[in-house]
Amino acid sequence: MRDSFWPEADDVIFREGFHAATTAELGWFGMGTQTAYADGFMAAADQLIENIEQGLLNRHPDEIFYAIAFLYRHSAETRLKQIIAAASYHLAGSADIRMGHDLADLWSRARKLLTEAREDAMGMPLERAGKLILEFHRLDRRSTALRYAITAEGQHHELEGIPRNIDLVNLRDVMKRLNNFLGTCIAMIEEALQGHFQL
């Protein structure tokens, strides 16, 4: 491994890997699916917090809060889009792929489609899950506040409505529960889809 400070003439960003422990094999075991993307964002955020807890990260938590929060937000967004696509396919025969990044809109559509596709979804903690999704929506309405310090208008993004000191372990634990809920919703729709195609 070279340790040059500047890019080298023969550098490439995506190079063929040969060491199993540090090589990502694209397309392996369903990688490239929406589930794999959502799982990956979730796992990356979880791993960062675990490394902070164990003192393995050479960064202060303040420096990587935005990255962690964005990874969790994007995982939830991806799951909501999975619900919308699968439920709209189940109900109408074609997947609705008009999405955007507005979590409030995505949740509203996902909830409506989920309850139309599965009557038993009404027994799930929809209100509690919605409260958490809307908390993330208020923090970052367009999926930009956690990625950029400055708005397109040149103003600083203000993260309003959250404490100044964020408990990262709580963030991880709550997002795991939300992820479990969203994953269950997807599994329910997939089960309904399988029943739809059985003869």
Q: Where are the domains of the chain?
A: 60-197
Cα–Cα distance for residue pair 68/85, rounded to 1 Å: 26
pLDDT for res 1: 56
Q: Could you tell me which residues are beta bridge partners of residue 33?
A: 31
Query: Does the pTM exceed 0.75?
Result: yes
Q: Which of 99-103, 160-164, 194-198 has the highest mean pLDDT?
A: 99-103
- Residue 146: pLDDT above 70? yes
C-beta of residue 66 within 8 angstroms of C-beta of residue 162: no
Mean pLDDT, residues 153-161: 86
DSSP string of 125-186? -HHHHHHHHHHHHHH-TTS-TTT-SB-TTSPBP---SS-SS--HHHHHHHHHHHHHHHHHHH
pLDDT digits (tens, 9 = 90+) for 52-93: 999 998 888 999 999 999 999 999 999 999 999 999 988 888
